[in-house]
Amino acid sequence: MAEEVQKQEVVSAGPSDSMRRRAIASAGVGWGLDGVTWTMYSFALTVVLPVLSISRAQVGWITFASIAASAVGGIVCGNLADRFGRVRVLTYVILGYSLFTGLTATAQDMTQFIIWRVLEGFVFGGEWAVGAALVAEYLNPRVRGRVMGFIHGCYSLGWAISTALYLIVFSIAPPETAWRYLFLLGVLPAVAAFIIRRTMRDRVDVGTVAPERKARVRDLFAPGLRKTSILATMLGLACQGIYYSVFVFLPLYLSSVKGFSVVGTAMYTWVVIAGSFLGAVTAGFLHDAIGRRRAFWILLACATGAIALFVLSPLVGEGFVGYLICFSLGFFAQAQSAGLGAYLAELFPTSIRATGQGFAYNVGRGIAGVGPLTIGILADQVGLGGAILWVGGVSACLGMLAVAGLRETRNTDILGDVR
């Protein structure tokens, strides 16, 4: 009886619509601002390489190091969120990636550049896990997929903002200094951290979910959860392997392989962004309609086809058809990963949810960082497009294998274990 009373105190009896909207807005803004600061990197690469004397192979190593750091940061921040609360940790995470993005503008050589990218990657890794846990616990199970899909799509809105900033800043300032101004603008998201901290509260009092024991990473590998943790991490690896294989090198591919100008690169990137936003939103509805597993299988296969069409077709850059190909690339490359927020939240129990999401998503991301590294190395042998297609195809196959071993979770009440 005492245990039941304790469980009732852990979760508020039905959050208000206002608080639910704030949770969605907080997670969406956090993820969108992640999109701003992270995608600045891919645009800056077009100039940073010659200015700081960095080779394409070294770009692969820098990208790998920052993504690997995000894996560590995601685990640490996810665990802290299970110990001290989602909102508190989310606030510090946004402050952190704003600070280190701004400091990237001060880099004078490759060593300094990689230091700031690694530190930014560390705090960047925590945002998704913490924000996804926060908002998932506020949502009705029947619409969790579509709402989380919309939040996932907010990253594309952030990407659109960074594309606009790239176009404006590089049109005003000379390239050798414009990239520094671009990174300096990355400090602006810090404002959102203060707003979130003052207006939000956690749905779950994490300190009372398991008062006898704090969440530990090793609990993810207890007998009843080990298989789920391993396969969920494999799925995180696959989805982000596809994402990074396409989007990290997209501006470089458009400018160096297709020969587009700054304006041309921005225009085609916006088409990809429009496709990625609509892909994330559409994927959310698909997950709610047919279930997580079937949606992942369909979208992973379509993403592979879209990448192949993009890198093999000579029509990219040829008017309407070229734009359509770029739109489909953005649509499916983003859609295939849009279900991760809902699925991972449903796979892990409340007491260790943020830790589990942080581990699966960010360790997956860290291993997926081998993809850009591989692309950077293979580009000289098989071309940049061929390297992107190879890494994307392998990632999709891994994702399908992972989903085959995971359970279906559609319409799961993820707070049932604390009520």
Taking the C-alpha atoms of residue 64 and residue 53, their distance in angstroms, rounded to an integer, is: 18
pLDDT per residue as tens, the chain (419 positions): 434 434 444 555 456 677 788 888 877 877 787 778 777 777 787 778 778 877 767 777 787 788 788 888 888 888 888 888 888 888 888 888 788 888 988 888 888 888 988 898 888 778 777 888 888 888 888 899 999 999 888 888 888 888 788 888 888 888 888 888 888 887 776 676 667 666 667 776 665 555 455 667 888 898 889 999 999 999 999 998 898 788 777 777 777 666 666 666 677 778 888 999 999 999 999 999 999 999 999 999 999 999 988 888 776 766 778 788 889 989 999 999 999 989 998 999 888 888 888 889 888 887 887 777 787 777 777 887 788 888 889 999 999 999 999 999 998 887 766 55
Residues counted in the chain: 419
What six digits make up the tokens of 147? 């709402």
Nearest to 88 by CA among 197, 198, 206: 197
- Whether 9 is in a domain gets the answer no
Residue 117 lies in a domain: yes
Q: Is residue 377 part of a domain?
A: yes
CATH of the domain at 136: 1.20.1250.20
Tokens at residue 120, please? Answer: 């930014």
Structural domain including 303 reads: 15-202+220-409
Q: Which residue stretches of 85-109 are H helix?
A: 86-104
| 125 is a domain residue | yes
**Does any domain span residue 102?**
yes
One-letter identity of residue 26: S
Say if 228 falls within a structural domain. Answer: yes
Count how many domains the chain has: 1
The letter for the amino acid at 66 is S
